[in-house]
Amino acid sequence: MAMFCHALRTPFLAGLITAIGSLASLTMAAEVPVGMVISAANLDQIKGNTFEGHTIASLLTERMEWRIRNDGWKLPLAASKEVPLDPRWVKASNANAGKTSINRQECRIDGWGAGAPFPNIDMKDPEAAEKIVWNWHLGQLVGDVSQVPGYTQVLIDGKKGVHAEPVAEFTRYAMKGRLTGGSTVEGDGSERGRQLLYFKSPSDMKGLGTYTVMYDSAKVNSVWAYIPAVRRVRQLSGGAWMDPVGSSDQLQDDLEIFNARPCWYPEYKLLGKRSILAVTASKTGTDIWNKEGKTFAERYPILQNEPPYWNMNGNNYEVREVYVIEAITPSIHPYSKKVLYIDVKYPRIHYGEAYNRKGEFWKFMEFHSYANVTDGDIRTTAGAVIDYQRNHATVSLIDTSSWRTNFVAKPTDFSLQALQGAGH
């Protein structure tokens, strides 16, 4: 009998001792301070410590940790703040509750007017992942018209550093989902928006650009390219959304990480919801890109001034809750899938991972932003698309000082003629 009781007690005591030990380790876990920089040098020592109640380990995805350990990425920690959202957008989004639905046959959202079409996401909804991506596609807080007169796509070799810095201008005009003026729609309702992009430098690229019409249907974008050297306009193929952007590491589909009509992807999977570290209160202006800077450190203060050069170590990372979504590509796409980390509070993709047709990790994408309270938009300040298979990256740096939102404009300001005029 004594032996029987001892056999019962031993597993119990062992389990109790283990539980007490685990509790003690949690109790002793230190809270790391704001300003702490996570790096390869200290990661193992602080992984079990907490920041704003989350363990450091839990705030890093597998690929984020891999970058810290193998790529020199460093993450300065900042106190988390609420991202202020445009009240007009919040009102429009809330008004969509219970009124919108996915119309797969027509590749559109029925019942949508403006804002995020699905303001309340139920994780158990079999359409949850697709609804989150539609929120991103239609509900981005970018304003009804947005113009970035100056941004650069810095092309970086992981060993040699920067080898090109083309400068371009980008403008987008919303034809649907408008929050200013008397109507949410302009035109006949077939267009979602129009975009103009053209290069200002270097001289051999000056004037080269594209004009894009995006539709609110399954119809692929209509894209025209203007080539100033021959003063010719040519329309690009319907598959242009999957094509590379010039000599950069981005596909058209990688702009802001995901740039496709959601129905062009055959499948989405909601992998879960978690907290990660991301940049939503980014530095701005010359703290991102100083066009007058002479040295690397002066010109690109946000970037790491040593190989591989593309790490945006000079910004501040906060705790954000995100949905993790696996987006399965069409069979003709260069990628087999993308994994997207989309903010829970508003449509913003902080990170993306791209995998090749063999299922191997290929690219890491990271975009930083801040809230422009005056105009109600969320502005990108910097973005990196890193191609680990060719040890190369494209880092977009934005001149936020010249950015304009919701200025007086009309649809005819964005046309083929406007693109040709910009090229002269």
Full 3-state SS string of 166-214:
CEEEEEEEECECCCCCCCCECCCCCEEEEEEEEEEECCCCCCCEEEEEE
User: What is the distance between the alpha carbons of residues 282 and 398, in angstroms, rounded to a whole number?
Assistant: 11
List, in order, residues 6 or more apart from 63 with CB less than 8 Å away: 351, 353, 361, 364
User: What is the distance between the alpha carbons of residues 94 and 402, in angstroms, rounded to a whole number?
Assistant: 32
> What is the rounded average pLDDT of the residues 406-414?
92
Pure H helices in 206-278: none
User: What is the distance between the alpha carbons of residues 334 and 40, in angstroms, rounded to a whole number?
Assistant: 32
C-beta neighbour count of 243 within 10 angstroms? 15
3-state secondary structure of 249: coil
3-state secondary structure of 132: helix
Tell me what pLDDT residue 244 has: 85
Angstrom distances, CA of residue 143 to CA of 93, 189, 225? 14, 18, 25
C-beta neighbour count of 5 within 10 angstroms? 9
Local confidence band at 1 (pLDDT 50, 70, 90 cut-offs):
very low
Q: Express each pLDDT in 267-300 by its tens digit.
A: 999 999 999 999 999 999 999 999 999 999 999 9
Q: Minimal CA–CA distance to 207: which of 236, 256, 166?
A: 166
- Amino acid identity, position 135: N
The conformation of residue 108, written as its DSSP 8-state character, comes to E
Are the C-beta atoms of residues 118 and 99 closer than 8 Å to each other?
no
Local confidence band at 424 (pLDDT 50, 70, 90 cut-offs):
low
Confirm or reject CATH 2.50.20.10 for domain 128-422, answering yes or no: yes
Q: What backbone torsions phi and psi does residue 195 show, to the nearest 5 degrees?
A: -135, 140
C-beta neighbour count of 42 within 10 angstroms? 16
Q: Express each pLDDT in 152-204 by its tens digit.
A: 999 999 999 999 999 999 999 999 999 998 899 999 999 999 999 999 999 98
Q: Express each pLDDT in 4-60 by its tens digit.
A: 344 444 444 444 444 444 444 444 579 999 999 999 999 999 999 999 999 999 999
> What is the rounded average pLDDT of the residues 329-356?
97
| Cis preceding linkage at 411, omega within 30 | no
> What is the rounded average pLDDT of the residues 340-344?
98
Q: What is the pTM of this model?
A: 0.92
Chain CA centroid to CA 338, Å: 12
Record the tokens describing residue 328, joined without a space: 């399965």
Using left for φ > 0, alpha for ψ between -120 and 50, and beta otherwise, residue 72 falls in left
User: What is the distance between the alpha carbons of residues 302 and 159, in angstroms, rounded to a whole number?
Assistant: 18
Tell me what pLDDT residue 47 has: 97
Q: Range(s) for CATH 2.50.20.10 in the chain?
A: 128-422
Tell me what pLDDT residue 423 has: 61
3-state secondary structure of 348: coil
Tell me what pLDDT residue 247 has: 81
